[in-house]
Structure 1
Amino acid sequence: MIKRILVPTDFSKNALNAVRYALDLYKKINCEFYLLNVFRLDSYTTSNLLVPEPGSTEYENAKAESEEEFTKLLEMIALHQDNYKHTYYTISSYNFLSEALEQTIANKDIDLVIMGTQGASGTKGVIFGSNTVNTMEKVRECPVLAIPKKVQFTAPKEIVFPTDFKSRYKRTELKYLLEIAKIHQAIIRVIYVNKNMDLNETQEKNKQLLKEIFETVDHSFHTISKKDVADGITAFADSRKSDMIAFINRKHFLFGSIFSRPLVKEIGYNATIPILALP
């Protein structure tokens, strides 16, 4: 079965790094990579009532520039990895990133989005750019994997999976996490971070269910007594030099904690761990 992966790019170094990470992560898998560039027109602003139309000189020049950058990118990809299992498609879109992502995910039946955490306009001191955070928050049709700026690919051998055990998990929610773990023989470290370390009856049942779901991969359970959930997750991952953090992206769970400003400041712009948000 062919996996379809969408990689947004603004042709920055960080975006190129995310492309390379994607190619290496799924090196052994038959994949179609859809490379998406959302181009804008310098002279057009939201206050301008005239939307540039296809066929206009300004529109066609901007699109041609995007396509020219794609030619260079495909040449770099060929130098990085000539993989017969991979095919590439480029999409130049005049649109807002969120809308272009939504349309491409639907039209191409995308399985996974992989993107860098900062683009060409990345601000020093901020690891997760607004585009990345918005994408991880809004995309619900497929997982989103965010690759920090300076992460060079190494096969993930340990993936941290934080949980509060308050919700029942479904196998379908975790299939991409399990897939990555199986491809790279990675260990999943399930961590529960809470000041109160005791689990109630519902939590115990959900923990048992998670054990059953993870029975086909190497895994272990860990409990950390810490008031701040985000601090506990990053401290655990940093101390073990883990390769990835994965979590179910539910509105009421962890998302706000993981991407809150205090955590961004703590791990800084030299963060070394990709984040996998599972819908």
Structure 2
Amino acid sequence: MRKNILIPTDFSKNAFNAITYAFELFKEKECNFHIFHSYFLPRSAKGNLLFPEPEPHEYDEAAKASGLSMLRLKDRVNQLPANSNHTIFFEDKYGTLIDLLNEKVTQDNIALIIMGTRGVTNDVKIAYGRNAVNVMENVKGCPTLAVPANFSYKKLNEIVFPTNFKSHFNELEINTFTTLAAQDKAAIKILHIGKEANLNSKQQENRKLLESYFKDLDYSFHWVEKSSVKEAVLTFVDKENSDLIAFVNRKHWFFGSVFSNPLVKSLGVHSTVPVLALHDTRN
């Protein structure tokens, strides 16, 4: 069965890098890649009383600019090496990014979103741009893989999976994750901040559930005591030279604890490690 991959683009260098990464990641898999751009005039938002509604010609100009940019991107993508396993679709549409991506995920049975961590603004002072964080937290139908700027694909040898064993796992999304790990025979390092002996009954159940999901994979548990989430995760990734961080984004637990902190910049993790965000079924 062909996998459907959605790749949002703002026509930036970082967005194009995410496209090439996606093609390499699924080089041996039959996939439909949906390269998608949304454009929007903020003054057209409902309830916006501060500015007048855009004129019809402004909508036309926005549509023309988006279409021309998509044609240029299509020409550039078509210059990449051909792969008979891949079918590529290009689409641009008027509307807000999150609404349209949620629509696309449902409409096209999307299994995974792949995008750059930063877009056209490319603010090097922040680890993740606004769009990347918004997609990770608000597009709920599938996981999102965020690829750092200038990151070239390499085989996944080790994946860090930080967890507090409190999440409600989405089996479809976990399956997407395990498929990625299996195709490269990557080792999964399950990282918990705290003592193994301190897990309550619910956490023990979730641990066993994870073991059932990972039963056919190379996985191991790692316990870090007396450390904050941010220090434990980022130090572990840096020390192990891990290739990917995968996590269940439970009520902002991970972003709030890790990626909003200056330690991200000091370790350089934001520029070297892709991140796969899965969803808690309660979010």
- Do they superpose with TM above 0.5? yes
1:103–1:263 Cα change, 3 Å: farther
Could you say which residue in structure 2 is the equivalent of 1:262? Answer: 262
1:41 deviates by: 5.3
CA contact (8 A) 1:150 1:270 kept: no
Q: For structure 2, list consecutive stretches of 5 or more residues without a partner in the other structure.
A: none
Could you say which residue in structure 1 is the equivalent of 2:273? Answer: 273
1:168–1:131 Cα change, 3 Å: closer
CA contact (8 A) 2:165 2:207 kept: yes
Q: 1:234-275 CA distances to partner (integer Å, 9 max, x unpaired)?
A: 111111111100011221643421332334443458620011
Say yes or no: does 1:200 pair with 2:199: yes
Could you say which residue in structure 2 is the equivalent of 1:49? Answer: 52
1:35 deviates by: 1.1
CA contact (8 A) 1:173 1:248 kept: no
Could you say which residue in structure 1 is the equivalent of 2:103? Answer: 103
Any residues of structure 2 matched to 1:87-102 within 5 Å, and which? 87-102=87-102
CA contact (8 A) 1:133 1:259 kept: no
> TM-score scaled to structure 1, two decimals?
0.89
1:39–1:254 Cα change, 3 Å: closer
Any residues of structure 2 matched to 1:233-272 within 5 Å, and which? 233-251=233-251, 253-268=253-268, 271-272=271-272
- Aligned partner of 1:213: which letter? Y
Give the SS at the match of 2:172.
helix
- Aligned partner of 1:15: which letter? A
CA contact (8 A) 2:167 2:250 kept: no
- Aligned partner of 1:134: which letter? N
CA contact (8 A) 1:124 1:269 kept: no
Say yes or no: does 1:31 pair with 2:26: no
- Aligned partner of 2:248: which letter? I
- Aligned partner of 1:10: which letter? D
Question: How far apart, in 2, do the equivalents of 1:44 and 1:25 lie?
Answer: 38
1:34 deviates by: 1.1
Note the aligned Cα RMSD (angstroms). Answer: 2.4
- Aligned partner of 1:163: which letter? T
1:42 deviates by: 9.6
Give the SS at the match of 1:4.
strand
Could you say which residue in structure 2 is the equivalent of 1:64? Answer: 64
Question: How far apart, in 2, do the equivalents of 1:170 and 1:117 lie?
Answer: 23
Give the SS at the match of 1:198.
helix
- Aligned partner of 1:50: which letter? E
1:150 deviates by: 2.4
Question: How far apart, in 2, do the equivalents of 1:80 and 1:226 lie?
Answer: 48
- Aligned partner of 1:71: which letter? L
Q: 1:33-68 CA distances to partner (integer Å, 9 max, x unpaired)?
A: 11111224599795433245xxx4433333233222
Could you say which residue in structure 2 is the equivalent of 1:136? Answer: 136
1:4–1:241 Cα change, 3 Å: same
Question: How far apart, in 1, do the equivalents of 2:71 and 2:269 lie?
Answer: 30
Identity among equivalent pairs (%)? 37
> TM-score scaled to structure 2, two decimals?
0.88
Question: How far apart, in 2, do the equivalents of 1:98 and 1:171 lie?
Answer: 23
Q: For structure 1, list consecutive stretches of 5 or more residues without a partner in the other structure.
A: none
